[in-house]
Amino acid sequence: MIHEEFEEPYLEILRDEREDALANGIKRNENHHIMHSDWAEWLNKKMGRKDLFVYRHRQTENFVLAAWMYRDTEIFTELETSPISFDRGGWLEWPYMRYRLRPKHEIIRDMRQNRERKKRLEKQKRENNREMRDAAVKYQKGKGAYMDPHSSFDYDPDSGLAEELKTMSRLNNRKHFS
């Protein structure tokens, strides 16, 4: 689609959040018995939300913490399940729930920070590898064994490298018996 305001073509992605909710959420039916839950009310108050609730699934008999996606369509998403009522010992620890129920903008921020941290670690790893290569070149130069990949072969026969390689080979091939 080419828009009049832009000189070059661009792709416009239209997303209907309600359609996504219908596709990805769960529609309430006779298997979902919504219950009063002090724990869900406490979580709503603590997190500044109004969409959390608990229901008991009639077939599995599990208790489910869920959040409304769109209340008017009765579409929700399941967050946590427990065979024990959340109000009777099935609750989850607050640090975990604070992390689990954090707002979308915090999740996105954390994902970006993790991606940046990964990039920094990869860069540091590359730099460390470069330092190791430089140290190996310095060692080889000290032994007279360094060969510049862009120059012709310049081996120094008086460097003692041949003797060192023979010794290393002999030690590596030695069989150890207990």
**Which distant-in-sequence residues (6+ apart) come within 8 Å of 153 by Cβ?**
147
pLDDT value for 118: 92
pLDDT of residue 23: 62
pLDDT tens, 59-101?
888 899 988 887 677 888 888 888 888 888 777 888 888 888 8
Domain spans, the chain: 26-102, 104-144
Per-residue pLDDT at 18: 61
Q: How far is CA 138 from CA 62, 134, 147, in A?
A: 66, 6, 11
Q: Which pLDDT score, from 0 to 100, does residue 7 have? A: 59
What residue spans of the chain are helical by DSSP H?
Answer: 17-24, 38-47, 94-100, 104-143, 161-173
Burial of 91 (0-12, 13-18, 19+ CB in 10 A): buried
Instruction: Write down the pTM of the prediction.
Output: 0.53
| Three-state DSSP class for residue 56 | strand
d(CA 123, CA 129): 10
Residue-by-residue DSSP string for 115-154 = HHHHHHHHHHHHHHHHHHHHHHHHHHHHHT----TTS---
The token pair that represents 22 in the structure block = 């219908």
According to the model, what pLDDT value does residue 49 have? 86
The CA distance from 110 to 69, in Å, is 22
| Phi and psi angles of residue 81, each rounded to the nearest 5 degrees, phi first | -130, 155
Mean pLDDT per block of 10 residues along the chain (178 residues) reads: 56 64 70 88 89 89 86 80 83 84 84 91 84 75 63 58 67 54
61-66 long-range contacts, CB within 8 A, separation 24+ = 63/35, 63/90, 64/32, 65/40, 66/26
